Amino acid sequence: MKRSSLTMFFFVFGLLAIGILPSCDEGDTCDEDVEDDHTGDDDDAGDDDDDVEPSYSGLIPGPGEPGFDEALEAKAQRYAQQYHGICTVPTGMFLEAFIPDPSHRALVEDWLENSDPEQGFEEYTGVPLYDIVERYGQYGDTGAFGGVAALGVACRYALARDGADPTAGDPDVLREHVLGIMEMLHIDIAITGVPGRMARGIRPLDTPGYIPETFPLFDPQGNPQPDPKRITWREDNSGLFPDYIWEDDISKDQLNGYILAMGVVWDVVADDPDISQEAKQRLKEDAASLGDMLLEMAPETGLPLCIRDADGRLTNHHDLHPREIEGLVLPPGLGNGFNAVMSLGMLKTIAFITGEQRFKDHFHYFLSGENFPKYVDQTFRFTYTGPYTNWSNINMAYSAIYPLLRYEADPGIFAFWQQVLERDIWHSYFPGWDVAAGGQAYFALIYAAYAPDGTDCEAAAQAASDLAGFPDPPSWDRTVINCSDEEIAAGFCIAVDGETGLELAGLHLGGDFIPFIGHNDTLQAVDPVPRHVRPDSNFHWRLSPHKVNGEGSDRLNPGGDFHGVYWLGRYLRAADNPRANVSEHAW
């Protein structure tokens, strides 16, 4: 939740107070049995069938399953080749690569079109990778973007390892990708030199491109620097990783993504005999250190659930407690549902990984003792703000609710989160401007897997259709201008395919068209723009599906958005039992 969240919070409460918007008590979306305790059994939760093994296939069908799309799988194999062969090479997780030379871009295209999907770039071309990559980017967004990609890495490995999908790949190769994520997550924490503090991003010093200047955590007088606090590159503070630098001032979207990655990796490696106990124990210890940091009481706010940096200061976007919004502590009874879901999702995941009772106890204390669900019921649905929605917040919301569903063993709590998923972030008070309107496969798959009545086949089909519209790799960052200035003035455009009509969102007043300009000055269509004509992105799930125009660059978009979601869809199951996609390790 970014700068505009405070204004939106009080705007929403104003509308509630004067009755323009209905409160949570209206209608049947706030089931009283679930709302009252959030911990008890619920006859509507599907728990009578908990022990029944359903007949199922993947939400995105694999080979031999009805509806298998061979072309989509071929596209997924090439996205995986691009992602691991170029974009994760420096750190093991998500980065974008800038390749400006046309001859070098031609090498990438030849490699992805004609090589074996398991073949690396250097092996096929004979050219060192760092000779063609001018620089890498988005080190500081590895958590938010790479966490979703880690879903695909872990799920693809599990499918191959367990023999559930013979086309997923070589499990020995895929295991190395999982271990690479585990290694990076550990470095992200250890390099700060302070237990429980996590880097926003890390960078090996041998990667191509300009190396930014670094600053010590403290000035000669022992004061944290810079002042005021801002994102700053630091040298290794642990003495263990002298060949790396790291970026501080981690924000909650990055931490949310890193903890998501930790959880999905643990979900598939917990019982894996081919992953060393040392690696597993290290992941558990790293997760516990983050949990301890979140449970520290912050003297600045008088609240726990704050993100603290290695320099001793709270990070700029540190607030995870529902009673804090960007430094403002709200009075008791008033809270931010978005923060409640984020913090509970993180604590659920940390307890899931560590198995430690203290984290489970704190999770239940915040759930029941402080009644965080009350704040969810109050305001979480207003993560959507119509054409002004910040879709990065929607991405965070889905990445936070996934572990609350996947790792929840209690049928009553599970049913509550299903209700929240459907009521607050699948639908919204802005019909046509929510995920149910289409165009965002990541969110559609999570809803399809955890819909209250079992698999929502329409949502699963929506996700598959969205993925099918992605361009074939390599995923260059193209200029896509669907709407010219003349068309914008008229409020209607013909897209770059020469066929698709796009009605722009806005008002016709006195013969003039006034467009609604959304988050980040985005010009948008009334309906989600079909994927095949939608502008490109380095991470699609954070951008409005209504966006019509986009300028290109010499960037190779990583494709981690596609990779993560496709293999998640192959891993999650279609079943009548709503609890079919709860982890076997759920607590």
pLDDT tens-digit readout, 485-540:
999 999 999 999 999 999 999 999 998 999 999 999 999 999 999 999 999 999 99
Could you tell me the residue range of the domain that residue 195 belongs to? 5-99+134-474+559-574
What's the pLDDT score for residue 521?
Answer: 92
* Percentage of the chain exceeding pLDDT 90: 88
Query: Residues 108-137: what's their mean pLDDT?
Result: 97
For residue 574, the model assigns a pLDDT of 95
In the chain, the number of structural domains is 3
Q: Which residue has the higher pLDDT, 552 or 31?
A: 552
Token match 């694999």: residue?
A: 62
pLDDT of residue 165: 86
For residues 491 and 468, membership in a common domain is answered with: no
247 and 119 inside one domain: no
Is residue 45 scored above 50 in pLDDT? no
Confidence of residue 1 (pLDDT cuts 50, 70, 90): very low
Mean pLDDT of the chain: 91
Average pLDDT for 563-579: 95
Asked if residue 470 belongs to a domain, the reply is yes
Calculate mean pLDDT across residues 19-41: 32
User: Position of tokens 């607030």?
Assistant: 319
Whether residue 414 is predicted with pLDDT greater than 60 in this model: the reply is yes
* Residue 73 to residue 86: CA distance in whole angstroms: 20
- What pLDDT is recorded for position 56? 42
Q: Decide if pLDDT at 259 tops 50.
A: yes
397 and 375, same structural domain? yes
Q: Looking at the structure, tell me whether residues 551 and 563 fall in a common domain.
A: no
DSSP 8-state symbol, 475:
-
- Indicate whether 375 and 403 sit together in one domain: yes
Would you state the pLDDT for residue 12?
43
What percent of the chain is helix, strand and coil (3-state, nearest 5)? 45, 10, 40
Same domain, 287 and 256: yes
Question: Whole-model pTM?
Answer: 0.91
Give the Cα separation of 468 and 58 in Å (integer): 16
Average pLDDT on 222-249 reads: 98
| pLDDT at res. 445 | 98
The per-residue pLDDT for 164 is 87
- Asked if residue 27 and residue 166 are part of one domain, the reply reads yes
* Whether residue 106 is found in the same domain as residue 84: no
Domain annotation covers residue 583:
no
585 within domain boundaries: no
Show the tokens assigned to 540: 């699609």
According to the model, what pLDDT value does residue 57 have?
87
User: Is residue 48 predicted with pLDDT exceeding 90?
Assistant: no
Confidence of residue 44 (pLDDT cuts 50, 70, 90): very low
For 102, the token pair is 């046309």
Q: Specify whether 409 is located in the same domain as 500.
A: no
Same domain (yes/no): 91, 118: no
Give mean pLDDT, residues 38-62. Answer: 50
Dihedral angle over CA of 497, 498, 503, 508, nearest 10? 140
What 3 state SS string does 322-381 have? Answer: CCEECCEECCCCCCCHHHHHHHHHHHHHHHHHHCCHHHHHHHHHHHHHCCHHHHHHHHHH
- For 467, half-sphere exposure in the C-beta direction (CA atoms, 13 angstrom radius) is 36
State residue 35's pLDDT score.
Answer: 33
Whether 566 maps to a domain, the answer reads yes
Q: What is the pLDDT of residue 7?
A: 41
Q: What is the pLDDT of residues 136-194, one digit of tens each?
A: 999 999 999 999 999 999 999 999 999 988 899 999 999 999 999 999 999 999 999 99
CA dist 456 and 465 (Å) reads 14
149 lies in a domain? yes
Q: Check whether 27 has a pLDDT greater than 50.
A: no
Residue 138 lies in a domain: yes
pLDDT tens digits for 367-386?
Answer: 999 999 999 999 999 999 99
Q: Is residue 14 part of a domain?
A: yes
184 closest CA partner among 234, 231, 161, 150: 150
Question: What's the confidence (pLDDT) of residue 184?
Answer: 98
Checking if the pLDDT of 254 tops 90, the result is yes
Cα distances from 587 to residues 156, 316, 347, in angstroms, run 24, 33, 12
Distance CA 480, CA 92 (A): 30
Q: Residue 310 domain-assigned?
A: yes
Q: What angle do CA 183, 188, 189 make, to 5 degrees?
A: 105
Per-residue pLDDT for 55 more than 50? no
Same domain, 195 and 55: yes
Specify the higher pLDDT residue, 230 or 56: 230
User: Are 366 and 496 contained in the same domain?
Assistant: no
Give the pLDDT band (50/70/90) at residue 578: confident
Contact 577, 49 (CB under 8 A): yes
pLDDT in tens, 355-369: 999 999 999 999 999
Q: Write the pLDDT tens digit of every residue in 65-107.
A: 999 999 999 999 999 999 999 999 999 999 999 999 999 999 9
pLDDT value for 6: 44
Q: What is the pLDDT of residue 4?
A: 43
